[in-house]
A and B are shown apart, each in its own frame.
Chain A
Amino acid sequence: GESVGLHLPTLSVQEGDNSIINCAYSNSASDYFIWYKQESGKGPQFIIDIRSNMDKRQGQRVTVLLNKTVKHLSLQIAATQPGDSAVYFCAENINQKVTFGTGTKLQVIP
């Protein structure tokens, strides 16, 4: 979810359970929303995106849901694995500029 400043909130999930990472946005003019995954010591990597005219998009083990009414975006990871442990950032593309949220740290408990 949202955080004050840049301190990362942490979500702890048991291995095998589903994870839901939430993100709120404020600009209704966003064209696309994107999720990134950042593993320790690496730069963020693209996971999945969704156009603003869609409300759901599925990838491999991941689903992104967009609720424009409440300006809420979520990333669902099915059957969470230890390799999913990372920081997840949502981002929005407004007029070709990508703006990142502050991120959520996902901790998978074996």
Chain B
Amino acid sequence: GAGVSQSPSNKVTEKGKDVELRCDPISGHTALYWYRQSLGQGLEFLIYFQGNSAPDKSGLPSDRFSAERTGGSVSTLTIQRTQQEDSAVYLCASSLGQGGTEAFFGQGTRLTVV
């Protein structure tokens, strides 16, 4: 596709369940970011992947959160034992990395934990 694609666009889950959020970055983009955004709030950095380097996980809020990027392309953000405070929009972005300044965002996944 032409842009960053995220799925699902909306997810409602019960408290305590695990969820997986998917991000398909733009082809050829080596950098991939995950952010979380609560309603009316700013962007909270979660994790950053750059090529084959070890990911920067410094933004993950707890060990219930993890992310993978397989084959340098698709990424999955997993939240285990979801809590109500996990409810937010999860945004993925990708960029060219080397020499590229612009990060392109997906439309996000709106997660609601009930």
Give chain A's interface residues, CB within 8 Å of chain B.
3, 6-8, 31-32, 34, 42-46, 49, 87, 89, 91, 93, 96-103, 105
Contact = CB atoms under 8 A, between A and B. Distances in A.
Interface string B75-113: 000000000000000010101011111111111100000
Contacts of A32: 101
A96 B98 contact: yes
Interface stretch (B12-20, B43-51, B62-70): B43-51
Interface of B: 4, 31, 33, 35, 38, 40-45, 48, 50, 56, 91, 93, 95, 97-108
Given A42-B107, A43-B105, A6 B42 contact: yes
Contacts of B108: 43
B40 to A, nearest CB: 6
Contact of B102 (A46, A96, A101): A46
A100 B45 contact: yes
A91 B103 contact: yes
A64 to B, nearest CB: 12
Contacts of B106: 43
Contacts of B4: 43
Given A43-B91, A102-B43, A34 B101 contact: yes
A46 B107 CA distance: 14
Contacts of B100: 96
Contacts of B107: 42-43
Contacts of A8: 40-42
A43 B107 CA distance: 5
26 contacts: A7-B41, A7-B42, A8-B40, A8-B41, A32-B101, A34-B101, A42-B107, A43-B4, A43-B91, A43-B93, A43-B106, A43-B107, A44-B91, A45-B105, A46-B102, A49-B101, A89-B42, A91-B103, A96-B31, A96-B97, A96-B100, A97-B31, A98-B103, A100-B35, A100-B43, A103-B42
A97 B102 contact: no
